[in-house]
Amino acid sequence: MPELKNDRLLRALLRKPVDVTPVWIMRQAGRYLPEYRATRERAGNFLALCTTPELACEVTLQPVRRFDLDAAIVFSDILTIPAAMGLGLYFAEGEGPRFERPLHGEADIAALRVPDPENELRYVMDTIRLARRELAGRIPLIGFAGSPWTLATYMVEGGSTRDFARVKALMYREPAVLQKLLMTLGEAITDYLNAQISAGAQALMIFDTWGGVLTPRDYVRFSVDPMARIVAGLQREAEGRRVPVILFSRNAGASLEALAGSGCDAIGVDWTVDLAEARRRVGEHVALQGNMDPTVLYAPAQRVREEVAAVLVSYGRGSGHVFNLGHGIAPDVDPDHVAVVVDAVHEESRKYHR
């Protein structure tokens, strides 16, 4: 593999010195880019785009061709594992992801089998291999997966939900059955992420999208602990470097200490937590990623630059910060405003690293 020319992201995630704060953006490959929309139309549908490595690689590279980003993230979906487990993933217009065969109880959960990443999920590994080749060492490539709790919510609910009634009913009525599901998913996610490392991923992120819907007690038991088991099972060295692991748990600001104790290298923070407070609470143990409110991207360019500066001020001097949004980019954001963010981070952050 070519030598990595820009390793700011990897250094910052390990709290090593950098010249400027690195920046990448969740959902940076997505519908706000006209080139993405054209590629998706060529694919025919979202699933075809995800499962065709040449097209998924093209989408992975589109934002890093357009913006001076410090990382690429493989284009995929968090629901690849449940899909490979045979639940029949499909996307309903205006409703998001759905499963033809959701989990209805203990028998369904017991019947689940851990997929082989180089078989049922080979398309993701091939996308990573293609992307690494095309990046040619320019910037690192991030691999990712959904957390056990987040995947479980979709698998039990049958898709997106507002009240999480089915999965929480399972949690309260039959916690051992839910734990069985989380253990199976944890094994599958560990295998999947290790395969991504072997294919060429240089950093990893676990998206715990729905961790914040749990009470603090249940959050540790059913979300943090399963992620910690995954982190403990990951291959942490590849190509002579440590492979950093980021955990992002939305609306979980009250439990940063629990996340910091998981064994991860960095925590993704949403915009509901002040970075200065987050750094005070956990900054000596892990790096922080975040945390500009994504809706700032609707504001005029000068206002966007001001908000970038405010986030950098909040974190303060020194390394250990990766600039990102507190969640993904909305589909109707102007791409020029993303360019403003990326350039402003590099310009404004230099003074914090002297």
Q: For residue 77, indicate whether it is catalytic.
A: yes
Among 32, 36, 154, 315, the active-site one is: 154
Please check the confidence at residue 253 and state whether its pLDDT lies above 90: no
Assigned token pair, 227: 């992620």
Average pLDDT (64-91) is 97
How many other C-beta atoms lie within 10 A of the C-beta of residue 177?
18
How sure is the predictor about 92, in pLDDT bands with cuts at 50, 70 and 90? Answer: confident
- In this predicted structure, what is the pLDDT of residue 2? 78
Residue 3 confidence (pLDDT): 87
276-309 as b/e, with b when 16 or more CB fall inside 10 Å? eebbebbbeebbbbbbbbbebbeeeeeebbebbe
Supply the pLDDT for residue 28: 96
Kind plus residue range of the DSSP H or E element containing 247: strand 245-249
Active-site residue, selected from the candidate residues 31, 129, 236, 303: 31
Q: How confident is the model at residue 265 (pLDDT cuts 50, 70, 90)?
A: very high
User: Residue 206: its pLDDT value, please?
Assistant: 98
pLDDT on residue 277: 96
pLDDT of 13 over the 80 cut = yes
pLDDT tens for residues 45-54?
Answer: 999 999 999 9
- pLDDT for residue 93 is more than 80: no
Q: Which residue has the tokens 């294919």?
A: 199
Residue 129 appears among annotated catalytic residues: no
CA-CA distance, 130 to 137, in Å (whole number)?
12
In this predicted model, what pLDDT tens digit does every residue of 199-243 receive, in sequence order?
A: 999 999 999 999 999 999 999 999 999 999 999 999 999 999 999
Select which of 77, 126, 208, 270 is catalytic: 77
CATH number assigned to the domain with residue range 8-353, chosen from the 4 options 3.20.20.210, 3.30.420.40, 3.20.20.100, 4.10.1240.10:
3.20.20.210
The whole-number pLDDT of residue 284 equals 84
Percent of the chain surpassing pLDDT 70 = 100
Q: Check residue 211 and give its pLDDT.
A: 93
pLDDT band at 1 (very low <50, low <70, confident <90, very high): confident
Is residue 40 annotated as a catalytic residue, yes or no?
A: yes
Residue 121: pLDDT over 90: yes
Give the residue extent of every domain in the chain: 8-353
pLDDT in tens, 125-148: 999 999 999 999 999 999 999 999
Share of the chain above pLDDT 90, in %: 94
Residue count (the chain): 354
Is 42 known to be catalytic?
no
| Cα–Cα dist 351/244, whole Å | 25
Catalytic residue among 27, 66, 101, 303: 27
- List CB contacts of 68: < 8 A, sequence separation 6 or more: 342, 343, 346
Is the pLDDT reported for residue 95 higher than 90? no
Distance CA 322, CA 346 (A): 11
310 pLDDT above the threshold of 90: yes
* 27 a catalytic residue: yes
Query: Per the residue annotation, which of 8, 15, 40, 98 is the catalytic one?
Result: 40
Q: In whole numbers, what is the pLDDT of the chain averaged over residues?
A: 96
Instruction: Give how far the C-alpha of residue 259 lies from the chain's centroid of Cα atoms, to the nearest Å.
Output: 15
- The reported pLDDT for the residue numbered 342 is 98
